[in-house]
């Protein structure tokens, strides 16, 4: 498979990542099967794994998903240095709870330290503010991340679930390595932000790139284009995300090794102008 690498902070990586959220939330596979799914991603050449402190079922297992990623890396026979892990803090939602934003410096420090322990590392390569907490002044959350970076606990900093205003504000206070927002054929609201990131040379990680629900992939526009290329509808959906800007990197999720392998194979799918026009016009 031949594809162009994409830059994230100081690394160049395969243009399709993997989001490990579904290995931690309700409906998750067993820990052994989850490790198998992560190994399928590593074996397929995936170099970016997205996780977060709150990808778990109950508050007493914060860090569960990160510990799974750490175990999968430990037990993998390949070169661990090829794989980079993105962690997030600032949201304390679990599958059974409502979204609970907490962007206080105390919680960000606690979250980061929990992630460091769960991953078994001294430094997290890329750490993101998971969401903006309206109860905490934005600069306070950002300053907390800068402090963690100053202490060497995180190497690079990014933002998730932000808008243009917050990105520009944060950019004044620190170097932003990546933005992670939802982006897919079915959710295009963050497309202008993805373009802004490309202009600024910031990686844009597209979460939920398959629409988060399997049935979206049955759309006839998608299935027709997939048939033309002899590819899966999921690969076409991911290739559309990839085609939006040069710094966009989809991070599809999945519980099954088959899903992960299929998604990774989208890295070399180039869509024609006609394909892209049809997808742009697709009802969503």
Ligand X SMILES: NC(=O)c1ccc[n+]([C@@H]2O[C@H](COP(=O)([O-])OP(=O)(O)OC[C@H]3O[C@@H](n4cnc5c(N)ncnc54)[C@H](OP(=O)(O)O)[C@@H]3O)[C@@H](O)[C@H]2O)c1
Comparing CB distances to ligand X, the nearer of 123 and 212 is: 212
Cβ distance 39 to 234 under 8 Å?
no
Element (H, E) at 194: helix 191-200
Stretch that binds ligand X, among 167-175, 221-229, 259-267, 273-281 (CB under 6 A): 259-267
160 is a contact residue toward ligand X (CB under 6 A):
yes
158 is a contact residue toward ligand X (CB under 6 A):
no
Comparing CB distances to ligand X, the nearer of 46 and 116 is: 46
Nearest to 68 by CA among 89, 37, 109: 37
Q: What is the DSSP letter of 187?
A: B
115 is a contact residue toward ligand X (CB under 6 A):
no
Q: What is the layout of strands, in order, in the sheet containing 18-19?
A: 18-19, 48-50, 84-89, 124-129, 154-160, 176-182, 203-207, 248-250
24 is a contact residue toward ligand X (CB under 6 A):
no
How many other CB atoms are found less than 10 A from the CB of residue 265? 19
Comparing CB distances to ligand X, the nearer of 152 and 157 is: 157
Comparing CB distances to ligand X, the nearer of 148 and 211 is: 211
Cβ distance 237 to 183 under 8 Å?
no
- Count of residues interacting with ligand X (CB under 6 A): 28
Cα–Cα distance measured from residue 117 to residue 31, given in angstroms and rounded to the nearest whole number: 18
225-244 footprint of ligand X as x/- string (CB under 6 A): -------x-x----------
- Residue position matching structure tokens 């430990």: 74
Cα–Cα distance measured from residue 275 to residue 20, given in angstroms and rounded to the nearest whole number: 29
Among 240, 263, 271, 279, binds ligand X (CB under 6 A): 263
**Helix 31-43, helix 64-75: angle, nearest 10:** 60
267 is a contact residue toward ligand X (CB under 6 A):
no
166 is a contact residue toward ligand X (CB under 6 A):
no
Among 113, 212, 243, 268, binds ligand X (CB under 6 A): 212
Cα–Cα distance measured from residue 21 to residue 163, given in angstroms and rounded to the nearest whole number: 22
Among 208, 242, 249, 269, binds ligand X (CB under 6 A): 208
161 is a contact residue toward ligand X (CB under 6 A):
yes
247 is a contact residue toward ligand X (CB under 6 A):
no
Among 28, 50, 136, 279, binds ligand X (CB under 6 A): 50
Q: Which residues of the shown chain bind ligand X in the complex (CB under 6 A)?
A: 19-22, 50, 130, 160-161, 180, 207-212, 214, 217, 232, 234, 251-256, 259, 262-263
């Amino acid at each position: 498979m031949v594809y162009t690498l994409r830059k994230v902070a100081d690394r160049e990586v395969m243009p399709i990542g993997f989001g490990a959220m579904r290995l931690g939330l309700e409906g998750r596979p067993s820990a052994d099967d989850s490790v198998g799914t992560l190994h399928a991603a590593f074996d397929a050449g995936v170099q970016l794994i997205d996780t977060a402190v709150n990808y778990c079922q109950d508050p007493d297992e914060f860090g569960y998903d990160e510990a799974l990623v750490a175990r999968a890396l430990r037990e993998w026979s390949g070169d661990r240095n090829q794989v980079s892990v993105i962690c997030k803090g600032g949201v304390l939602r679990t599958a059974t709870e409502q979204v609970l934003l907490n962007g206080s410096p105390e919680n960000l420090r606690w979250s980061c330290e929990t992630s460091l322990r769960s991953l078994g590392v001294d430094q997290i390569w890329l750490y993101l503010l998971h969401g903006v907490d309206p109860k905490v002044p934005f600069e306070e959350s950002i300053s907390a991340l800068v402090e963690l970076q100053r202490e060497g606990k995180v190497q690079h900093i990014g933002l998730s679930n932000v808008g243009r205003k917050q990105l520009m504000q944060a950019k004044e206070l620190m170097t932003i390595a990546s933005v992670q927002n939802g982006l897919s054929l079915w959710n295009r609201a963050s497309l202008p932000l993805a373009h802004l990131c490309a202009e600024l040379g910031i990686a844009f990680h597209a979460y939920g790139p398959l629409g988060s629900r399997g049935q979206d992939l049955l759309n006839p526009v998608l299935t027709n284009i997939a048939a033309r290329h002899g590819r899966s509808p999921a690969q076409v959906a991911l290739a559309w995300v990839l085609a939006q800007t040069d710094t966009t990197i989809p991070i599809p999720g999945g519980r099954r090794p088959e899903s992960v392998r299929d998604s990774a194979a989208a890295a070399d799918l180039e869509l024609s102008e006609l394909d892209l026009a049809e997808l742009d016009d697709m009802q969503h």
